[in-house]
């Protein structure tokens, strides 16, 4: 199952990231994972949050450009070589990774992948024994 990630486009100037996190904090949104990529003028924040629909709504109400996109999340052991093993499966199934980021849980690491065809990739990876996490499972880690 895929998980919805919130993507927010931010102007690259002091205080903009703080303004975004303040909107989320004031609305009771918990950020589980975050990635920030920037260019000279804009940044893209990608987040896994506890309530993707509420986060997207409150951000839009606060005049942020926000949308959600499906990503795949896989739990791996926090041990040497586990990420490599997971990536080998992506290679074996010819799934191209557009970008990835991670967050640490209590006992595992969680790898987040954006791929071009989420459903196809999930099916190919499931055939190799990999089970992606659901939105509900992410909320529990």
Query: Beta 97-104 vs 108-115: how paired, if at all?
Result: antiparallel
CATH, range 3-69: 3.30.2130.10
Give the per-residue pLDDT at 101.
94
Hey, where are the domains in the chain? 3-69, 70-140
Pairwise CA distance, residues 10 & 7, whole Å: 10
Q: Give residue 7's pLDDT.
A: 96
Instruction: Report pLDDT for 140.
Output: 76
Minimal CA–CA distance to 64: which of 3, 11, 14, 4? 11
Q: Please, what CATH class does the domain formed by 70-140 belong to? A: alpha beta
**Residue 39 above 90 pLDDT?**
no
Q: Are 70 and 2 contacting, i.e. CB atoms less than 8 angstroms apart? A: yes
- What φ, ψ does residue 115 adopt, rounded to 5°? -125, 165
């Amino acid at each position: 199952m895929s998980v919805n990630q919130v993507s927010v486009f931010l102007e690259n100037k002091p205080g903009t990231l703080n303004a975004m996190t303040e909107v989320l904090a004031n609305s009771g949104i918990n950020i589980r994972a975050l990635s920030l990529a920037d260019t000279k003028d804009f940044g893209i924040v990608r987040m896994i949050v506890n309530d993707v629909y509420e986060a997207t709504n409150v951000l839009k109400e606060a005049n942020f450009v926000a949308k959600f996109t499906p990503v795949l999340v896989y739990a791996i052991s926090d041990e040497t070589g586990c990420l490599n093993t997971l990536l080998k499966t992506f290679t074996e199934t010819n799934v191209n990774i557009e970008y990835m980021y991670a967050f640490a849980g209590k006992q595992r690491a969680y790898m987040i992948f954006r791929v071009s065809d989420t459903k196809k990739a999930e099916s190919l990876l499931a055939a190799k024994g990999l089970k992606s996490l659901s939105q509900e499972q992410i909320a529990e880690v």
